Structure 1
């Protein structure tokens, strides 16, 4: 009698283990192991490998934004950094949530800041279709721990100051796997003063931003430039940042991604659009459609590169 229960249980255990192994083994990872590795990874070289930064982690049907299960799904399809959004809870913890309110992305209501972490953990996340899933709101700490050995998190600001975001990276010993977005020269200097290992994605849409960076006292080795959500009229900004040894990020969420989701362009046009952004000067594309973007860039990742050792 015991045998008839043990055998099915054993089969389930083995199959579950195999499935878990398959999920982990199948991830496309960025293997940076130290702060020095991360700086070297982002140092611009003409043979760099272009790749995607998935906006809000790459949400889609069945997979909510700013959710660790979604991160896993994105990396199961393509190499990608993951852009995420932090917000404070009522009791001073930091969770991942794009909006200051809960209504759009969870089955909760009201402001994130009006709930404790324990209360927020009882809520469930919605996917891009508005369907309720079984997934819960992660903390920034959980995301930073998860990212180790897998990818690089790009931590936006929302209501969390840059020095606090940098401190969280240090607390979690995640200097090899995370960077922070800086929206001002003051914040860039503040972050560098706090910790000289932290990489920053700095707004770099104009030549004057480049000149300001030159005068800031912050090394270009600590910077990647976010050029724009739109294709600039001139390639000069890309050339200026590359000349200083830094990579450039260009957003697609407000142009070709939006056109595709509205049915204005085809899948083939979307693919060519991503490839065009790279040919124009971008090294990384911040995309709403991370999986599609990754597939489009695959043909551009086949050549020899000094960066190849970081991609698995």
Structure 2
């Protein structure tokens, strides 16, 4: 007999808007935190011990917040809103002071991607003012690194992922476009390395496992499209995974590379074994589209959580497959 579907261990309410983005900061902290960005422009900093909002940052003039993250090893929060700004916030000693901002010129929903290149120095990639362009700047100097624009008309940039390969000179960037294409860019050479048509519809989301050079993307259709990079950095499409209902907002791989979670337009979170894409669980709690999913970065695997944010203005937290479970 199959086990009954789990319930959330608890929920967070009071965000006041759809939950577009989630980010955990638990590793090496006394107080585990979850950051959320809402469609009403608020960033909530949830204390996971008290299960309440410890701080609320109103930072994007009421515009929808589409991305939040933290700079590792610092008390700096970074966020992007649909006010065309990426903002950096100083959270040290109880503050929430705006330190700096980067103007993107983009009114789309593409979340930026950040990569630490050396201690204290990071690259930030984001969708630019022109429909198809991706801009990369260095932080904290904000000096431009490059602009990536495809030769062919692929439509709007929908999602990006920046990473540093183990071998090779410089960073690479994966981008999903409105026409369903995936492109792999060499940032140093400002050149396209490979391209694949992963979906007939716009690529709504992608995630990439840098350890095994495998990724997966989702769109408005009833399929997930897995793919991998070969040794020549060619994108190789793999067999699609069919879903029960169409539409995926976000995909997230757990830090240990064992689980994949998808945020569904059908109000559900689906959990797969990442290695073989075996369906493991369907999490049902929300009453509207699930917009975001995130796995926690707890040092102790037994404490790991999965969070889901929904258009219903609630965050659900789940404890699943944490110790010794077969997730292959």
TM > 0.5 between the two? Answer: no
With a CA cutoff of 8 Å and minimum separation of 6, indicate the structure with the bigger relative contact order: 1
Output the TM-score relative to the length of structure 2.
0.31
Structure with bigger helix share is: 1
Structure with bigger strand share is: 2
